Amino acid sequence: MPAILEADSLVKTYGNHVAVAGISFSVEEGEVFGLLGPNGAGKTTTISMLTGVLEPTSGTARIGGHDIVAEPAEVKKINGLVPQDLALYPTLSARANLQFFGRIYGLRGRELRERVDDVLEIVALADRADEAIERYSGGMKRRVNIAAGLVHQPRLLFLDEPTVGVDPQSRNHIFESVQRLNRERQMTIVYTSHYMEEVELLCNRVAIVDQGRIIALDTIRNLVGMLGGGVIQLGLERLDDEMLAAIRALPAVSGAARVLAEGPPPASRGEAEAHPPQAAHPGPVLLKIETRRSQDALVQVVGYLNTLDVAFTSVEIFEPNLESVFLHLTGKKLRE
């Protein structure tokens, strides 16, 4: 399938702060593409550049063959944006809000009425369409926000954290709407989230974003497959180099790295082994263990620590999923 979106080395800086540090990716026509990362990773800034809300400091992107900086009007005809913040008039009804946004896109008369009815059906609010927005729940407002981004029938829809603060019923409605738009209307969707389970449910491919950079990009199956097994994180009262070497040598352990409680750990086993710390750390220490057999590795490591009378303060086991991939790549949990 051809790419509808091609981003090349997008950078956004604010003074000395780098919000996006050279992001590149492409999205195929008809794909649901995920941008997964913690709050502050640069996801919203990236979306804002692609939709014309912000101008890139450097780099470029093309959407539907049009340059986002040189041809913003053409790009906006193709794009639909559903931002994190609600962009609705609370005293107006959902229908009146959608008619307003439709007129901004040049829709009038019968075409406007049909488009509004269509998107209200998509977000399952046709029966509440004439009630004032201020009477809606937070989840219902989110669904109207999505409808506003759909009223002009975009080829490419950007959904930026669409389920933040919504109730479970509205969350499920949003999921169903995304799947229906993609399946029945072949709409291309870029979906940003810091909720791993949402991305796993909805997306064909995922770019994992951290500190303004894409640190991994592939199908979910391939991303999880790169880990091969689970990750165990142990809190220890102490850990020296000799102990770390012994743990790495255990049969069920494929890699281990020291993580100081006050800072992030090495990004990968290769980095950890190439630059091992040279001294024991007296304070609280986290030990990150990579393994293909989590239970066996935990038994072996705990058994070894017991021989040294080393107490552990916490135990977390992350089985293979996007959460454990993120932990493996960055040394921290997705929502830290």
**pLDDT, tens digit, 9 for 90 and up, residues 198-255:** 999 999 999 999 999 999 999 998 988 777 678 899 999 889 999 999 999 999 999 9
The pLDDT, as a whole number, for residue 226 is: 77
Equal fold, 3-224 vs 229-319 = no
Bridge partners of residue 107, in order along the sequence? none
Q: Which helix (H) or strand (E) holds 205?
A: strand 205-210
In this prediction, residue 285 carries a pLDDT of 87
pLDDT in tens, 151-206: 999 999 999 999 988 888 889 989 999 999 999 999 999 999 999 899 999 999 99
Q: What value does the mean pLDDT of the chain take?
A: 89
**pLDDT at position 111 over 70:** yes
pLDDT of residue 1: 66
Q: Is the pLDDT of residue 267 over 50?
A: no
DSSP 201: H
Task: Write the CB contacts of 258 (distance below 8 Å, at least 6 apart in sequence).
Answer: 239, 244, 265, 272, 276, 277, 281, 285, 286, 287, 288
pLDDT at residue number 291 = 87
Query: What residue ranges do the domains of the chain occupy?
Result: 3-224, 229-319
Band (pLDDT 50/70/90 cuts) for residue 312 is: confident
Nearest to 258 by CA among 249, 243, 298, 110: 243
Give the pairing type, strands 66-67 and 58-63: antiparallel
pLDDT tens-digit series, residues 113-159: 999 999 999 999 999 999 999 999 999 999 999 999 999 999 999 99
> What does the alpha-carbon distance between residue 159 and residue 28 come to, in Å, rounded to a whole number?
16
The CATH architecture annotation of domain 3-224 reads 3-Layer(aba) Sandwich (3.40)
Per-residue confidence band for 4, with pLDDT thresholds at 50, 70 and 90:
very high
pLDDT classification of 334: cutoffs 50, 70, 90: confident
Does residue 156 contact residue 65 with C-beta atoms inside 8 Å?
no
Q: In what order do the strands lie in the sheet with 3-14?
A: 17-28, 3-14, 58-63, 66-67
Whether the per-residue pLDDT at 307 is higher than 60: the answer is: yes
Q: CA 206 to CA 210: how far, in whole Å?
A: 13
Please tell me the CATH code under which domain 229-319 is placed.
3.30.70
Q: Tell me what pLDDT residue 273 has.
A: 43
Give me the pLDDT at residue 279, please: 45
Helices (H) and strands (E) in the chain, counts: 12, 14
In this structure, the number of other CB atoms found within 10 A of the CB of residue 235 comes to 16
pLDDT score, position 269: 41
Residue 259's pLDDT band, with cuts at 50, 70 and 90, is confident
Sign of CA dihedral 180, 326, 168, 146: negative
Amino acid (1-letter code) at residue 315: V
Q: Where are the alpha helices (DSSP H) in the chain?
A: 43-50, 72-78, 94-104, 109-122, 138-150, 168-185, 196-202, 220-227, 241-248, 269-274, 294-307, 322-330
CA dist list (Å): 76 to 31, 80, 228: 19, 7, 42
Distance CA 14, CA 322 (A): 30
Predicted TM-score of the model (pTM): 0.77
CA distance 293 to 269: 17
C-alpha span between 313 and 29 (Å, rounded): 49
pLDDT digits (tens, 9 = 90+) for 9-67: 999 999 999 999 999 999 999 999 999 999 999 999 999 999 999 999 999 999 999 99
